[in-house]
Structure 1
Amino acid sequence: MFRKTGPMPPHALAGHLRHGLAAAVLVKLAFVAVLLLLPSGLLVLGVAHGVLLIVVVAAATLALLARRRSRGRDHWEAMYSGRPDWDVGHPQPAFRALADDGAIRGRVLDAGCGTGEHVLMCAARGLDATGVDVAPTALRTATEKAAGRGLTARFLRRDARELAGLGETFGTVLDCGLLHTFDDTGRAAYVAAVRAVLEPGGRWFVLCFSDLQPGESGPRRYGRDELAAVFATGWRVDRLERTRLDSPRDPGGLHGWLVALTKDDAPGATARADVATATPERYLRRLCDHAEAIAGRDLGAHHRPGRAHPRVLRVDRDGSEATLTLTAGRCTLRAGAGTLAVVVEAPAEDELRQLQDLLARDLERFGRRDGLTVEWSR
């Protein structure tokens, strides 16, 4: 629950760079030797040397990025070599009270479940409960607890920013101490992921550190206004109240927030484009085929790095009509006489613009030979 994050240690980064440079030198020397043995080797040596350097640098960069992506998972797994600060061995009182009041209902997902106490609390009440975490040791412990208590629950290894990949929806999502571990970019991706797997009107309950908790190290401390801003679009804030979080190292508990949210499905922004074409059904089919092919991937990350991007969750089509459901909103397509009607809905203007850009780009790319153009109206 009280998780700490940090950058890659300097010595580890230096080690990766040393290995990468050594590999680059060896490959380059071998390649140069081969070129010198060829009749035209000296003529192409300069060009080949430059090309090889680009390839080696690109490969080293990709390897470093992959190492950084896996670093977070390794960090959390290492924390379970002992007893982590957040593993209190029982449900947090605030969540137990919600369960007793019947506020936790439907299929339940615990994001960052750790050793599973909240999942098992729900399973003991007869709920269909699933927990996700990135630490295999935590998941193994949770599974053993379930077996020992005679409870049926499911535990999966998954990054909470990639919940859409589950391909499932839930009536309730629980978060005990996960939100406050993310930076702004990770938090945006996580909030979008939770929204993607919640059913219409679904509930999300969050426990996180508050600005009253002393110290600066460890998880982020949230003030009331900052939390309210995080959930300003796409959510109805039902409760935002101070609480205490049980801790094995502090008998008095830690200062935190309990946030109760309801997914707000009313579109905050809508745009429409009537695309003139002699073959609207063909473009509807092509757009749907493309959406199905890229379902689950980040869209547009190469255009705007450092922010959350929409993902296709589901494609529903019925003859001349189709609906694309994305993490950022929804797109409805309707093929008519000489027109493909495209309507996009999103909880906020920023998400709407993302959807408009993505759909216009794809449709105009598909219809380049026909001179297809997409013009939006509000």
Structure 2
Amino acid sequence: MKAFTDSWVDTFSTVYSDEPLARLAWFTASPGIELIKLVADGVIKRGDRVVDLGCGPGVDSVFLAAQGMHVTGIDLSDAALEKARAWARLSGVSPEFVQGDVLDPPLSDGVADVVTDSFVFHNMRDDARSIYADQVHRLLRPDGLFVLNSFSDRMVPGTGPRRITSSDILSTFDSTRFDCEELRTYRNLPTATKPDQIHWIGRFRKVG
């Protein structure tokens, strides 16, 4: 099964090789604001094993590795992973980057203390969501943490990813598999086309 709609698969298959990173609407050259807070507050700790699903050019992965986490980034795009590896070399850190599908990541069960998703879920097809949640659950150790960043339904209208409701999130990462510790909106960095970036941050603990 494809994780994303055909239009997004087509886009991601070429965009990282065809465009400078600065021209990509989702690229900020900075790790996520809320991710930084989770590290500063000790929720994600030095020594934790982190899987960064849909890591793209590796900004979050490299940040986490620089903070002392053991990081594996997964992405379908070879071009994105080439940029991620170059970023890691420049930064002097060594996260592992693996080419793979987020619906079937080539990693062992229970490999992660933390799984992160920085703006992957909101691109997904409806029929892929439960499979994705299964994989997040599989990758986490008991009581492991899933961190979700996503477009919210409070975003301004426009092009780009789908707007996601709290019900979309809670019905996918449901209470039989995950304990929701936090789900709230926050204001993220503005862009030229989306000056009001209202996103979700969610924290979920694996159940079972």
Give the TM-score category using the shorter length. 0.7 to 0.9
The TM-score normalised by the length of structure 1 is 0.49
| Match of residue 154 from structure 2 | 212
Alignment partners' CA distance in 1, 2:136 and 2:41: 23
| Match of residue 77 from structure 1 | 13
> Taking structure 1 as reference, are residues 246 and 227 closer, same or farther at Cα in structure 2, changes over 3 Å only?
same
Q: Is residue 131 from structure 1 mapped to residue 73 from structure 2 by the alignment?
A: yes
Alignment partners' CA distance in 2, 1:248 and 1:133: 24
What does 1:310-349 align with in structure 2 at a 5 Å threshold?
none
| Match of residue 177 from structure 2 | 234
The TM-score normalised by the length of structure 2 is 0.87
| Match of residue 100 from structure 1 | 40
Report the CA distance between 1:138 and its aligned residue. Answer: 1.0
Alignment partners' CA distance in 1, 2:166 and 2:194: 25
Task: Determine if contact 1:86/1:247 at 8 Å carries over to the other structure.
Answer: no
| Match of residue 198 from structure 2 | 255
| Match of residue 58 from structure 2 | 116
Alignment partners' CA distance in 1, 2:186 and 2:28: 16
| Match of residue 245 from structure 1 | 188
Alignment partners' CA distance in 2, 1:226 and 1:115: 27
Alignment partners' CA distance in 2, 1:7 and 1:235: 29
| Match of residue 86 from structure 1 | 26
| Match of residue 44 from structure 1 | none
Q: Is the radius of gyration larger for structure 1 or structure 2?
A: 1
| Match of residue 275 from structure 1 | none
Report the CA distance between 1:248 and its aligned residue. Answer: 4.4
Alignment partners' CA distance in 1, 2:168 and 2:153: 10
When the two chains are superposed, the root-mean-square deviation of aligned CA atoms in Å is: 1.9
- Pick one of 135, 142, 165 that aligns with 2:84: 142
Alignment partners' CA distance in 2, 1:193 and 1:93: 25
> Taking structure 1 as reference, are residues 7 and 115 closer, same or farther at Cα in structure 2, changes over 3 Å only?
closer
Structure 2: stretches of 5+ with no match in the other structure: none
Code of the aligned partner of 1:166: L
> What's the CA shift string for 1:244-284, capped at 9, x where partnerless?
2335436855111000000011xxxxxxxxxxxxxxxxxxx
- Pick one of 126, 129, 132 that aligns with 1:184: 126
> Taking structure 1 as reference, are residues 6 and 216 closer, same or farther at Cα in structure 2, changes over 3 Å only?
farther
Report the CA distance between 1:195 and its aligned residue. Answer: 0.7
Code of the aligned partner of 1:256: H
Code of the aligned partner of 2:189: D
Could you say which structure has the higher helix fraction?
Answer: 1
Provide the secondary structure at the position in 1 that maps to 2:103: helix
> Taking structure 1 as reference, are residues 102 and 252 closer, same or farther at Cα in structure 2, changes over 3 Å only?
farther
Report the CA distance between 1:225 and its aligned residue. Answer: 2.8
Alignment partners' CA distance in 1, 2:112 and 2:64: 13
Alignment partners' CA distance in 2, 1:226 and 1:144: 35
> Taking structure 1 as reference, are residues 225 and 251 closer, same or farther at Cα in structure 2, changes over 3 Å only?
closer
Report the CA distance between 1:217 and its aligned residue. Answer: 3.6
| Match of residue 166 from structure 1 | 107
Alignment partners' CA distance in 2, 1:216 and 1:251: 8
Task: Determine if contact 2:56/2:75 at 8 Å carries over to the other structure.
Answer: yes
Task: Determine if contact 1:92/1:246 at 8 Å carries over to the other structure.
Answer: no
Alignment partners' CA distance in 2, 1:149 and 1:137: 19
| Match of residue 224 from structure 1 | 166
Structure 1: stretches of 5+ with no match in the other structure: 9-70, 266-378
| Match of residue 137 from structure 2 | 195
Tell me which of the two structures has the higher relative contact order, counting C-alpha pairs closer than 8 angstroms and 6 or more residues apart. 2
Amino-acid identity (%): 26
Report the CA distance between 1:243 and its aligned residue. Answer: 1.0
Provide the secondary structure at the position in 2 that maps to 1:192: helix
Q: Is residue 152 from structure 1 mapped to residue 94 from structure 2 by the alignment?
A: yes
